[in-house]
Amino acid sequence: MGIFAPFLPIQGSEHAERVDVLYDFIFYLDIFFFVLIVGGLIYIVLKYRDRGEEREVPQFSHHFALEVTWSVVPLILVIVIFFWGFNSYITSRVAPNDSMEVRVTAKKWQWEFEYPDGTRTLNELHVPIGRPVKLIMASVDVIHSFYLPTMREKMDVLPNRYTALTFTPKVEGEHQIYCTEYCGDGHSEMLAKLYVESEAAYKKWLETGGFDEKTPLNQIGAELYKKRACVTCHSIDGSRIQGPSFKGLYGKTEQIVGLGPVQVDDNYLRESIVNPNAKVVEGYPSGLMPTYKGLLKDREIDALIEYIKTLK
Amino acid sequence: MAAKVDAISNVEMQVGEESYLTAKKGLKSWLFTLDHKRIGIMYLGSVMFAFLLGGLMALLVRLELLTPGKTIVGPKTYNQLFTLHGAIMVFLFIIPSIPASLGNFVLPLLLGAKDVAFPRLNLASYYIYVFGAIFCVYSIIAGAVDTGWTFYTPYSSTTDTSVISMTLGVFILGFSSIFTGLNFIATIHKLRAPGMTWSKMPLFCWGIYATSVIQVMATPVLGITLLLLVMERALGVGIFDPQLGGDPVLFQHFFWFYSHPAVYIMILPGMAIISEIIPVFSRKTIFGYRAIALSSVAIAIIGFLVWGHHMFTSGQSELATMIFSMLTFLVAIPSGIKVFNWVATMYKGRIVLRAPMLYALSFLFLFTIGGLTGIFLGAIAVDIHLHDTYFVVAHFHYVMMGGTAMAFFGGLHYWWPKMTGKMYSEKLAKIAWAITFIGFNMTFLTQFALGSQGMPRRYYNYLDQFQPLHAFSSVGSWFLGLGFLLMVLYLLASLRSGEKAQANPWGGATFEWTISSPPPEHNFHHQPVAKRGPYEYSVEVGR
């Protein structure tokens, strides 16, 4: 790694290390040419600046050998870079046979993950360290793009076909996931986290969903509020984002399209999470919120309701 | 500062003769003019207005990004702002900027012609531009588009903003661009002065010629694509939207098939201006005339074959990705050759650091950075990481703004005395140039670092870790805005109180400097004859 290391995210995989070597190579090559061209430029301007003296300006119109040199040398260099870049790209596109396959569904504005055992999560992807992962991705609405900077990997997620992305994580911990294809108002909130864990921790997570029995429900709810993307559309300070704010929501009477006034209680909240378009509050768009059916366990729905109750 | 010229009687206006500015009076004489110079001036006013409008939106975008979350506007407004900034800058400013304003004014003069080949077509192209611009402005009022200037489907076929009027506007603007291109091709072929062979033609004309060819050949593809998009939205014909059985990636292929060559529609005229300014202010003949001229043609041809490098992550096949990466590297070579040639032109010259030359130097500095950072993006494995991040934003701003816009302003300062007959304040020009140069680098150099760290583009909100760099970039944008504001002010002031410009204030050897400033209505009293090359400065010239 060169002096430019602080500008790149940590290297989460061997592929990331390979990409960075090329990045550094281009970086130093660029520095060389920049100094050559701009340095030369500054030298020439300083040395040959018009100072009002009478001086014969030599007129020369071309120099064949020089021109061939500065055409051919850069050409050779870029051909080298081309093969280098292609080689490490094509290596990263081939998923090893023992890859763990995870299905990814992108929708405005959240990421849904489905594991081989049927477990489904939202905006959090858990994988064991050292095992190659193959994501098979599709979108249900517009084009999104799955970006994992620490793995130096990115792939668009399309509504009409599957795309795939492969990585083999080697650094434990949290890794940021972004959406990098512009997809509307919530684009910059369409974030997710990759958790690279030891094999044992990963197994435990698959069983418990990451919450132990002793954590109070409203605390779990507060965490789910952020992790499960409620935060993208519902504020907790009373301001309007896409949907109604959670502040003071519980117990409030809302005007429902086609039904009139309805009081917000536990059952209303549960229905709105599982079947969001059944009772839409007047003045808010219908069909915007996707269903959370199957994405939240019963206990997690309880936790969210308890959390909303605390927001007075 | 008097120049040695060929046709003596061309220099001064004849007794009682008026310049093109005063020969005819009244609003109608402007609105119905067929004079390429007046049409150029009207274009200049229009593109400058578009530049200020697009610039204002850029400043609002940067202000919003000063802090994470909400700074001044909500996410929807932010998305509309960056879309309009991009669309206005690309379609209403950069594409018409150099060819239609400066090109219109100086191309016939450089060739020694009385006008362009088709003066009526020229005027028509201006009105079509205005008509298209009205659609774009209407779309701002009627629910501004929030798709990004790229209008990617299926987002653009499903959003509730006024995509139809904006795309129709761009569709109409395309015709204006085609008309200008067509006109210039005919003009360059047919109206060169006696003795001006292709190899004696000023390099500006070569650059404009290559640009025009791309305009005529590529723009129809954009027109058809946008028309298909309108049909999909308005009539529900399934072309790009998978809901209707279409393919969204097809749109990207169509769009970039135009929009990548369009990048060269934007940069080639900039390079063309630089090829004029550098020899004049180095008092030295251009180095490698043939290489510069032919590299423009090479760029125009290879530029048609690289569109897929915008789509490395789009799901296109690995084979396509490989081929596009290779071709992308090839197109870098002619640009590199030009840069080396310009630097070599200055070597051992007598460099006069007036405002146009300063802009040319900043072009060389910024375009070099823009070009070198393009190598990162051409290398597939590195591009996968950097694609759709701020690295790309920084890269194309270095090329488009640091390159084309700087060249445009260089050209504006170079030909301003000829166009208006007035000199601007050299001192203010240097101050404004310095502020702009510093502001530009503050704004965009930062963004290379942001992108390398993984900051995605088109983000309303961002993680706290990116804030210092974002804030620095936003502060830079204020300097940039200040520099341009100052430029507009002293240029306008020069119209009122500027010193009268001489026929040849810089000591240029091309035809436009052999006639008075501002030129008479019919350009030349006598048909000029090209007895020497455009960059042959005799000892008497320019001191």
Quick check: is B536 in a domain?
A: no
Alpha carbon B102 to chain centroid, angstroms: 10
A236 touches chain B (CB under 8 A): no
Mean pLDDT of all residues belonging to chain A: 90
Tens digit of each residue's pLDDT (9 = 90 or more) over B388-442: 999 999 999 999 999 999 999 999 999 999 999 999 999 999 999 999 999 999 9
Residue B245 lies in a domain: yes
State which residue of chain B sits closest to A43, comparing Cα positions: B347
Within 10 angstroms of residue B151's Cβ, the number of other Cβ atoms is: 23
State how beta strands A133-139 and A100-107 pair. parallel
Burial letters for B421-442: b for 16+ Cβ neighbours within 10 Å, e otherwise?
Answer: bbbbbeebbeebbebbbebbbb
Average pLDDT estimate for B383-392: 96
> Residue B192 — very low, low, confident or very high, per pLDDT cuts 50/70/90?
very high
B461 touches chain A (CB under 8 A): yes
Stretch B12-32: mean pLDDT:
82
Domain membership of residue B236 (yes or no) is: yes
Helix (H, G, I), strand (E, B) or coil at B245: coil
Q: Residue B62: which domain range?
A: 8-530
How far apart are the C-alpha atoms of A192 and A184, rounded to whole Å? Answer: 17
Question: Which among B382, B393, B447, B464 is the top mutation candidate for probing chain A, defined by the most A β-carbons within 10 Å of its own β-carbon?
Answer: B382
Distance of CA B57 to the CA centre of its chain: 18
pLDDT, residue A54, reads 78
Q: Is the pLDDT of residue B153 over 90?
A: no
Q: How confident is the model over B491-504, as a mean pLDDT? A: 93
Q: Is residue B539 part of a domain?
A: no
Residue of B nearest to A64 (CA): B288
Check if the beta carbon of residue B201 is closer than 8 Å to that of residue B111: yes
Can you read off the two tokens belonging to residue B321?
A: 């990705």
CB of B242 less than 8 A from some CB of A: yes
Q: A278 by DSSP, 3-state: which?
A: coil
Classify residue B8 as left (phi > 0), alpha (psi -120 to 50) or beta. Answer: alpha
**Residue B466, pLDDT score:** 95
Rg (chain A; Cα; Å): 27
Residue A182 and residue B152: Cβ atoms within 8 Å? yes
Q: Is B542 within a domain?
A: no
d(CA A216, CA B370): 54
Cα–Cα distance measured from residue A302 to residue A296, given in angstroms and rounded to the nearest whole number: 10
How many domains are contained in chain B?
Answer: 1
What CATH number is given to the structural domain containing B384?
1.20.210.10
What one-character DSSP code corresponds to residue B93? Answer: I
Q: Say if B285 falls within a structural domain.
A: yes
For A101-156, the pLDDT digits (tens) are 999 999 998 999 999 888 888 899 999 999 999 999 999 999 999 999 999 999 99
Q: Which two tokens stand for residue A99?
A: 């890859």
Of A188, A193, A156, the C-alpha closest to A176 is A193
Gap between the Cα atoms of B513 and B533, Å rounded: 14
Complex confidence, ipTM: 0.91
Q: Where are the alpha helices (DSSP H) in B421-466?
A: 426-453
CA distance A146 to B388: 11
Q: Which two tokens stand for residue B253?
A: 């292929």
- Find out whether B355 and B433 touch, Cβ atoms under 8 Å: yes
Task: Say if A149 is an interface residue toward chain B (CB within 8 Å).
Answer: yes
In a domain, B433, yes or no: yes
- Is residue B535 domain-resident? no
State residue B463 phi and psi, 5-degree precision: -70, 150
pLDDT digits (tens, 9 = 90+) for B306-348: 999 999 999 999 999 999 999 999 999 999 999 999 999 999 9
In this predicted structure, which of A74-88, A257-271, B440-454 has the lowest mean pLDDT? Answer: A257-271
Strand partners, A125: A194
